[in-house]
């Protein structure tokens, strides 16, 4: 299938074309490159660098970059030397006129992404730090190197939103990735740039791309704007003076396909009226032509939707999967509570990190006096005495993450599951008040899964909970294992995990996924002991019906093995459940 009418492109050719189009006009947008580090990615980056103007900076920034390097601040060595404040530019400003290369973009904190985004949108970067105030030009674009292993790992949404292009290098073999050393000369690119700037307005292209974006369920209007820019760049690269149909199709494939949240025609009727008039009288010929064009372009975009995204969209889950990715990036930013500097105090660097700016400020008023005292023989520009030393204070508060481990098996009959859900909702409300994070692990059938990674959005937790299916065996051990793993991860981010287990204790599927009650229970006990050894605080809520004494006894045993508090749901009303959780949580924090 080749709806564009041009020659069929291999994945590598397509990736290179995206690089060329991006390099022609990179300012204010970006390109996401998915793929592991390796020769293919290196070859692609070389092609991109070659396509950029000669003098354009091409700077790599690490995901963990701190504000003083990213945005700039007080240049301490220069300040000390000069005896007056000297500002230092950050990486964004230094890259003006070029491209930022963001390594491991999937690990980029949302805050850093937001700072880069501000520069992209404004074409300049404002520095308001350390007593400095200045604005520097920052006409930059970026390459986000996404090494995420799965869908849950993706660059922050702020960055995704400004990514005009998406390139997947994972499926490309090394032998296909050529360096293209004998490529066109730089003069041709300069000409292409001039043609790009002079390209006339093209209403048909605009309408087609906006229409296609709407058909694919792309909410953001940045997408069609970028696609239009891409079509223009493609035309300019080919030596054309106006956008052709082929360029529009290709632009849709390069810029729109990966943003699709639904397949065209899936449920157009419910969401919005179809782009053209459904009345009987035929639209004017001009409109017809645009409609025709739109269909062709839509085909091209559809053909370019990445396979796994296509599969998800077909399952009707596109939007949800994206939402999961979006939430995650934001949460990790907000939960980075560890060591937030909140101020400074006098102290010795032995006791903490020295706060240079504050130290300088403390020393500043004394300078003339000290200079006079030291006499003319002293060549020091700034006289700092031990009294001036300031150290950074950190905010020590650690947040808690409540991990709900929910039994969604068949033994927990449907109406009981509804009760459990109700109880969790109450607990969620409490978490909301305390501003805790929540996570959700569910086990049923043969395995357990993290239904919701730690988030502060209780609304999302509730949505996930409502959509939780029930039925199947009770792999309690797997559930506890997954919870233990999650608890370790939570701890690594500096948060304190707290597990709330809700089960009827009726384990009948072991760790290996095989049935058999005695083995399953043994495994569950073992998993519980591991949690105890890992010193994860827990609360077990027994949801077995009052008539099933055996199950109750089992849940109690599990709770004991975990060192968890134990309460029984039918007896405990919601208020008491809440009180128990609060008590456990308090003990944990105090």
Closest to other proteins by CB, 314 vs 395, is 395
Q: Where in 138-177 is the site for other proteins (CB under 8 A)? A: 157-158, 161
Closest to other proteins by CB, 248 vs 507, is 248
Which 3 state secondary structure label does DSSP give 344? strand
Interacting span for other proteins (CB under 8 A) from 147-155, 203-211, 515-523, 562-570: 203-211
Q: Which of 39, 77, 123, 186 binds other proteins (CB under 8 A)?
A: 123
Closest to other proteins by CB, 15 vs 108, is 108
In sequence order, the β-bridge partners of residue 163 are 30
Q: Where in 456-485 is the site for other proteins (CB under 8 A)? A: 456-459, 462-463
Q: Which of 315, 369, 553, 583 binds other proteins (CB under 8 A)?
A: 369
368 binds other proteins (CB under 8 A): yes
Q: Where in 261-290 is the site for other proteins (CB under 8 A)? A: 272-273, 275
* In the complex, least distance from residue 411 CB atom to other proteins, rounded to whole angstroms: 27
Interacting span for other proteins (CB under 8 A) from 79-87, 171-179, 345-353, 513-521: 79-87
514 binds other proteins (CB under 8 A): no
Phi/psi of residue 451, each to 5°?
-75, -30
Rounded CA gap, 154 and 104, in Å? 10
Q: Which of 100, 192, 225, 490 binds other proteins (CB under 8 A)?
A: 225
323 binds other proteins (CB under 8 A): yes
| Run of H or E residues at 525 | helix 517-533
357 binds other proteins (CB under 8 A): yes
Which 3 state secondary structure label does DSSP give 233? helix
Q: Which of 302, 331, 436, 551 binds other proteins (CB under 8 A)?
A: 331
Q: Which of 15, 144, 209, 300 binds other proteins (CB under 8 A)?
A: 209
Interacting span for other proteins (CB under 8 A) from 65-73, 145-153, 302-310, 478-486: 65-73
Rounded CA gap, 147 and 149, in Å? 6
Which 3 state secondary structure label does DSSP give 243? coil
Rounded CA gap, 549 and 304, in Å? 58
Closest listed residue to residue 251, CA positions, set 311, 165, 179:
165
Cβ atoms within 10 Å of 521's Cβ, excluding its own: 21
Closest to other proteins by CB, 213 vs 309, is 213
Closest to other proteins by CB, 221 vs 533, is 221
Phi/psi of residue 108, each to 5°?
-70, 125
* In the complex, least distance from residue 543 CB atom to other proteins, rounded to whole angstroms: 20
Rounded CA gap, 114 and 240, in Å? 36
Per-residue x/- track, 300-319, other proteins (CB under 8 A) = --------------------
| CA distances, 101 to each of 60, 141, 144, 181, 204 (Å) | 4, 9, 6, 22, 34
| CA distances, 335 to each of 1, 34, 304, 493, 499 (Å) | 47, 26, 36, 8, 18
Interacting span for other proteins (CB under 8 A) from 31-39, 454-462, 489-497, 565-573: 454-462
Rounded CA gap, 339 and 435, in Å? 18
Q: Which two tokens stand for residue 311?
A: 């599969």
Q: Which of 364, 414, 534, 553 binds other proteins (CB under 8 A)?
A: 364
222 binds other proteins (CB under 8 A): yes
Closest to other proteins by CB, 272 vs 351, is 272
Q: Which of 21, 309, 382, 540 binds other proteins (CB under 8 A)?
A: 382
* In the complex, least distance from residue 345 CB atom to other proteins, rounded to whole angstroms: 12
Contacts of 413 (CB under 8 A, 6+ apart): none
Closest to other proteins by CB, 158 vs 298, is 158
* In the complex, least distance from residue 236 CB atom to other proteins, rounded to whole angstroms: 14
Which 3 state secondary structure label does DSSP give 304? coil
* In the complex, least distance from residue 495 CB atom to other proteins, rounded to whole angstroms: 15
Closest to other proteins by CB, 41 vs 390, is 390
Cα angle, residue 516 at apex, residues 511 and 517 outer, rounded to 5°: 95
In sequence order, the β-bridge partners of residue 501 are 405, 540
Q: Which of 34, 107, 129, 312 binds other proteins (CB under 8 A)?
A: 129
Q: Which two tokens stand for residue 174?
A: 């090394």
| Residue with the two structure tokens 């292409």 | 192
Phi/psi of residue 281, each to 5°?
-65, 135
Q: Where in 227-266 is the site for other proteins (CB under 8 A)? A: 228
Q: Which of 18, 48, 70, 541 binds other proteins (CB under 8 A)?
A: 70
Rounded CA gap, 489 and 483, in Å? 10
Cα angle, residue 84 at apex, residues 82 and 85 outer, rounded to 5°: 110
* In the complex, least distance from residue 191 CB atom to other proteins, rounded to whole angstroms: 19
Indicate if the alpha-carbon torsion angle 581, 585, 588, 590 is positive or negative: negative
Closest to other proteins by CB, 264 vs 275, is 275
Q: Which of 3, 35, 141, 211 binds other proteins (CB under 8 A)?
A: 211
Rounded CA gap, 268 and 109, in Å? 36
Phi/psi of residue 142, each to 5°?
-145, 155
Q: Where in 81-120 is the site for other proteins (CB under 8 A)? A: 83-85, 110-111, 114-115, 118
Rounded CA gap, 535 and 562, in Å? 9
* In the complex, least distance from residue 66 CB atom to other proteins, rounded to whole angstroms: 9
Closest to other proteins by CB, 17 vs 206, is 206
Interacting span for other proteins (CB under 8 A) from 176-184, 359-367, 400-408, 492-500: 359-367
């Amino acid at each position: 299938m080749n709806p564009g009418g041009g020659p069929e492109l291999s994945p590598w050719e397509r990736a290179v074309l995206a690089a060329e189009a991006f390099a022609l006009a990179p300012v204010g947008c970006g390109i996401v490159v998915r793929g592991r580090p390796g020769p293919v990615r290196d070859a692609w980056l070389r092609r991109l660098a070659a396509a950029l103007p000669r003098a354009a900076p091409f700077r790599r920034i690490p995901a963990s970059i701190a504000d003083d390097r990213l945005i700039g601040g007080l240049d301490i060595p220069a300040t000390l030397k000069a005896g007056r404040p000297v500002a230092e530019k950050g990486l964004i400003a230094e890259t003006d006129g070029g491209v930022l290369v963001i390594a491991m973009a999937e690990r980029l904190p949302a805050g850093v992404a937001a700072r880069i985004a501000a520069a992209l949108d404004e074409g300049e970067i404002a520095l308001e730090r350390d007593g400095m105030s200045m604005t520097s030009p920052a006409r930059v674009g970026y390459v986000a190197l996404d090494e995420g292993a799965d869908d849950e790992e993706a660059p922050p949404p702020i960055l995704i939103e400004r990514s005009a292009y998406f390139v997947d290098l994972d499926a490309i073999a090394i032998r296909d990735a050529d360096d293209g050393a004998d490529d066109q000369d730089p003069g041709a690119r300069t000409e292409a740039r001039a043609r790009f700037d002079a390209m006339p307005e093209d209403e048909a292209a605009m309408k087609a791309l906006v229409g296609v974006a709407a058909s694919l369920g792309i909410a953001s209007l940045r997408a069609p704007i970028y696609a239009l820019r891409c079509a223009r760049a493609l035309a300019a690269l080919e030596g054309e003076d106006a956008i052709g149909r082929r360029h529009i199709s290709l632009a849709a494939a390069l810029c729109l396909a990966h943003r699709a949240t639904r397949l065209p025609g899936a449920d157009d009727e419910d969401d919005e009226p179809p782009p053209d008039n459904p009345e009987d009288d035929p639209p004017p010929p001009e409109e017809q032509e645009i409609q025709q064009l739109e269909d062709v372009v839509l085909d091209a975009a559809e053909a370019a939707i990445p396979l796994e995204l296509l599969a998800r969209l077909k399952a009707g889950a596109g939007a949800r999967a994206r939402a999961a990715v979006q939430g995650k990036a934001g949460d990790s930013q907000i939960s980075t509570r560890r060591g937030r500097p909140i101020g400074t105090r006098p102290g010795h660097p032995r006791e903490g990190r020295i706060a240079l700016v504050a130290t300088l400020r403390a020393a500043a008023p004394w300078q003339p006096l000290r200079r006079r005292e030291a006499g003319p023989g002293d060549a020091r520009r700034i006289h700092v005495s031990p009294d001036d030393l300031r150290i950074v204070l950190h905010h020590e508060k650690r947040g808690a993450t409540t991990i709900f481990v929910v039994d969604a098996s068949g033994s927990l009959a449907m109406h009981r599951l509804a009760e459990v859900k109700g109880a969790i909702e109450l607990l969620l409300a409490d978490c909301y008040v305390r501003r805790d994070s929540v996570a959700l692990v569910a086990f049923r059938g043969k395995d357990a899964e993290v239904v919701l990674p730690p988030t502060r959005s209780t609304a999302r937790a509730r949505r996930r909970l409502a959509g939780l299916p029930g039925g199947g065996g009770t792999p309690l051990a797997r559930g506890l294992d997954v919870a233990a793993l999650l608890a370790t991860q939570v701890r690594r981010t500096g948060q304190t995990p707290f597990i709330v287990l809700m089960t009827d204790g009726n384990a009948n599927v072991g760790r290996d996924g095989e049935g058999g009650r005695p083995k399953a229970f043994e495994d569950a006990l073992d998993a519980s002991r591991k949690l105890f050894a890992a010193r994860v605080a827990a609360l077990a809520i027994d949801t077995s019906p009052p008539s099933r004494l055996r199950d109750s006894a089992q849940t109690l045993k599990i709770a004991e093995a975990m060192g968890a508090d134990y309460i029984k749901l039918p007896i405990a009303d919601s208020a008491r459940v809440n009180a128990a959780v609060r008590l456990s949580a308090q003990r944990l924090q105090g």
